[in-house]
Amino acid sequence: MTQETGGFAALDLHPSIVAAVLATGYEEPSAIQQQSIPIILAGHDMIGQAQTGTGKTAAFALPILNRIDPSKREPQALILAPTRELALQVATAFETYAKQMPGVTVVAVYGGAPMGPQLKAIRNGAQIVVATPGRLCDHLRRDEKVLATVNHLVLDEADEMLKLGFMDDLEVIFKAMPESRQTVLFSATLPASIRAIAERHLRDPKHVKIQSKTQTVTAIEQAHLMVHADQKVSAVLRLLEVEEFDALIAFVRTKQATLDLASALEAKGYKAAALNGDIAQNQRERVIDSLKDGRLDIVVATDVAARGLDVPRITHVFNVDMPYDPESYVHRIGRTGRAGREGRALLLVTPRERRMLQVIERVTGQKVAEVRLPNAQAVLDARIKKLTNSLAPLVADAESTHGDLLDRLTADIGCSPRALAAALLRKATNGQALTLEAVEKEQPLVPTYTPRERTGERPERGERERRAPMPLGEGRARCRTALGARDGIAAKNLLGAILNEGGLAREAIGRIQVRDSFSLVELPEEGLERLLAKLKDTRVAGKQLKLRRYRED
């Protein structure tokens, strides 16, 4: 720890943890992290009063990882969260910070997913368990000793847990854990019920209170779009067709994603380049210089690689992947709107990221308006407008400079001036689709969520049953289950069950459409029969899934 004396290194965290934190783009700890990390590292119980968005997840995740023994294959830390979404978010944060800690594993335990794989992961020695209280109590009923080795407990957003009626579940969980454990409680507010829990279950706790600061970015036009995770590249390509930008920076989370998206953009003719932590400094400087002077128009970057990037011609920021916290969001969109210029920031939001969108709006004090993806007509209009703008300056003196050549060509070819103009347009547009039918075929509209789907409001049964299945993704097959909305099934329940029991990556599963009396799921065509066999006994909401290939004829 001698090379660095400030930042996270000054908090006595293990170098591998510091390295993982720095790799995410953080350089200095936030106020809640500065105050909480030393207390938790010292083994004290603690009460932290802080809003979401202040960096509190890292405030408990980093010191707890520091105290984990990777050689012990048993649960050592339990983090309780009020909702499935927050549990997944916290589990992802732990995995990120533990990337350079071989042997440390994390399991998320929540309702709506099969219990078997969750309990198996715990018994196999996942050191970090992130759970919702209700589902964890279900596991305790199966195995009352599942928490016997846990010596660090964190209650995240404790006030929300009590609002959701988890008091009795919390008491069951407390009793199932060693009394000698360290307990850390985070809550935005400290009502009497929270103070009562602290008095009963915390030992001489230290208190930390952080006032959240509202950050405003008023000079930048902000908007968000709801998309599925596997539709992001298609959504970006469609947005670029209609957005009038000078230069643009697209933010993603991983180094590989910078390369993948930059390649997809280059394949469509955009002047784009990737910028990530693996790129040498001299190459990074060349990329930034190219963006400044117009040789590049788009840079796809991670948060780390974009540090210090200041290019006045950037008019747009695309948040292709959701930032980890509101502060990162503010820093990202601040790359545009420089020197009094207008700026526009677009945020792609997947279903499980809706909560972070709400946090961003609360912390920035601004509503991030929702927009819809442009349809085929908007794309066609934008293409024709660009073509018009490129040709208009050439028309003024074209007849005087090329009129004779026009006459000769029409005579030699034996065609009309209109036919020759059409041929030259085809050549100039390089086969680009310029009719509505062709655009629709070339770019099937990326489906987004309707307001009803987002709010949970269900269409009438007849309307729901009449909706036609969406076009299939390439390499996918559509499967059907008799479970639907009337069975209390939501898309997240089906997704969780298939991910856990099928052993698939999230990207392998396409669209999930829940109707009143049945549901449709897109799965990989390759190996489909083997997958369906694996899912044969899977149950969702207590009922058998029974997925079958869907025959649309």
The full DSSP string for 240-291 is HHH---SEEEEE-SSHHHHHHHHHHHHHTT--EEEE-TTS-HHHHHHHHHHH
The Cα 28–Cα 37 span in angstroms is 13
Question: 176-192, pLDDT tens digit by residue?
Answer: 999 999 999 998 888 88
Question: Are the C-beta atoms of 32 and 50 separated by less than 8 Å?
Answer: yes
- The pLDDT score that the predictor gives to residue 202 is 94
**CA angle, 387 as apex, 384 and 391 as ends, to 5°?**
140
- The pLDDT score that the predictor gives to residue 267 is 87
Equal CATH topology for 7-209 and 220-375: yes
Question: Are the C-beta atoms of 454 and 354 separated by less than 8 Å?
Answer: yes
Question: Quick one: how far is CA 117 from the chain centroid?
Answer: 24
* Residue 443 neighbours by CB under 8 Å, 6+ apart: 234, 237, 238, 376, 379, 433
The Cα 319–Cα 250 span in angstroms is 6
Shortest CA distance to 509 belongs to which of 117, 224, 519? 519
Element containing residue 11 per DSSP (H, E): none
Weakest mean pLDDT among 81-90, 170-179, 227-236, 456-465 = 456-465
Report whether CATH 3.40.50.300 matches the domain 7-209.
yes
Amino acid at 28: E
Which tokens in the block code for residue 438?
């062709």
DSSP state of 54: S
Which tokens in the block code for residue 229?
């995770």
Which single residue is written with the structure tokens 């590989």?
A: 256
Average pLDDT over residues 116-145: 91
**CA angle, 268 as apex, 264 and 270 as ends, to 5°?**
90
Residue, of 282 and 148, whose pLDDT is higher: 148
Amino acid at 382: A
Say yes or no to pLDDT of 293 above 70: yes
Shortest CA distance to 539 belongs to which of 485, 505, 498, 507? 498
- The pLDDT score that the predictor gives to residue 395 is 74
CATH classification code of 220-375: 3.40.50.300
The Cα 451–Cα 440 span in angstroms is 24
The Cα 263–Cα 274 span in angstroms is 8
Shortest CA distance to 424 belongs to which of 382, 385, 395, 381? 395
The Cα 380–Cα 364 span in angstroms is 35
Which tokens in the block code for residue 471?
């076009």
Which tokens in the block code for residue 20?
């993982």
Looking at every residue in the chain, the average pLDDT score rounds to: 83
Residue, of 59 and 457, whose pLDDT is higher: 59
Say yes or no to pLDDT of 145 above 60: yes
- The pLDDT score that the predictor gives to residue 485 is 79
Residue 374 pLDDT grade (very low, low, confident, very high; cuts 50, 70, 90): confident
Say yes or no to pLDDT of 369 above 70: yes
- The pLDDT score that the predictor gives to residue 212 is 60
Average pLDDT over residues 264-290: 88
Question: 56-84, pLDDT tens digit by residue?
Answer: 899 999 999 999 999 999 999 999 998 88
DSSP 109-163: E-TTS-HHHHHHHHHTT-SEEEE-HHHHHHHHHH-TTTTTT--EEEETTHHHHHH
Residue, of 104 and 339, whose pLDDT is higher: 104
Domain ranges of the chain: 7-209, 220-375, 377-391+400-442, 456-549
- The pLDDT score that the predictor gives to residue 450 is 43
Residue, of 327 and 415, whose pLDDT is higher: 415
Weakest mean pLDDT among 32-36, 130-134, 509-513 = 509-513
Question: 204-219, pLDDT tens digit by residue?
Answer: 999 999 876 656 566 7
Phi/psi of residue 443, each to 5°?
Answer: -130, 85
Average pLDDT over residues 331-350: 83
Say yes or no to pLDDT of 511 above 60: yes
* Residue 94 neighbours by CB under 8 Å, 6+ apart: 61, 65, 79, 106, 128, 130
Q: Please state, as a whole number, how many other Cβ atoms lie within 10 Å of the Cβ of residue 526.
A: 11
- The pLDDT score that the predictor gives to residue 502 is 82
Say yes or no to pLDDT of 225 above 90: yes
Q: Which CATH number fits domain 456-549: 3.30.70.330, 3.40.50.720, 3.40.50.2000, 3.30.470.10?
A: 3.30.70.330
pTM listed for this prediction? 0.55
Which tokens in the block code for residue 469?
């299945």
